[in-house]
Amino acid sequence: MPNTATLLAENLGGFAGPANLYQLDVPLMGFDHVIAWIQTFGTPEAVLVAAFPSGAARSMTRLPGSYVGTEVSHAGALFLAGYTVVLPEPEPETPADPEPVSPAVETDSGEPVEGDPAPAPEGGA
């Protein structure tokens, strides 16, 4: 099975272009989290740097996989570093608690009515 880079967060702020946080199943140069960003001004470049799990960069030193080209991508940089991008497993959906149903009650006419009956007047009416 190839090495995987699991997407953890997208559109991180503070970088020279679109940046995402990835968790690596096999560390790259000792780092198990990296940020990939695309530099969009000047010469296009895809950059990988070491990251903390919080999404902050550990260092701005480029890691293997960073490259310059006319069409660059996060997946391309991670591929060059030896990783395949995967999306995280979705959280299982928990079913919502059903709304409580009021028991049907009957009126004097025998017709069912939803909800609790009004209290009977005291002393007879």
Q: Give pLDDT tens digits for 61-113.
A: 999 999 999 899 999 999 999 999 998 888 777 777 666 666 655 556 666 55
pTM over 0.85: no
Rounded Cα distance, 85 and 104, in Å: 55
Asked whether residue 9 is assigned to any structural domain, the reply reads yes
Sheet holding 67-68, edge to edge: 67-68, 45-50, 31-39, 19-28, 3-9, 83-86
Asked whether residue 82 is assigned to any structural domain, the reply reads yes
Q: Which residue has the higher pLDDT, 5 or 16?
A: 5
Asked whether residue 66 is assigned to any structural domain, the reply reads yes
When divided into structural domains, the chain yields a total of 1
Asked whether residue 98 is assigned to any structural domain, the reply reads no
Asked whether residue 76 is assigned to any structural domain, the reply reads yes
pLDDT, position 94: 76
Residue 11: pLDDT band by 50, 70, 90 thresholds?
A: very high
Residue 54: pLDDT band by 50, 70, 90 thresholds?
A: very high
Asked whether residue 12 is assigned to any structural domain, the reply reads yes
Mean confidence (pLDDT) of the chain: 85
Of 1-10, 15-24, 30-39, 114-123, the one with minimum mean pLDDT is 114-123
Asked whether residue 125 is assigned to any structural domain, the reply reads no
- Domain containing 23 equals 3-86
Of 27-31, 72-76, 78-82, 115-119, the one with minimum mean pLDDT is 115-119
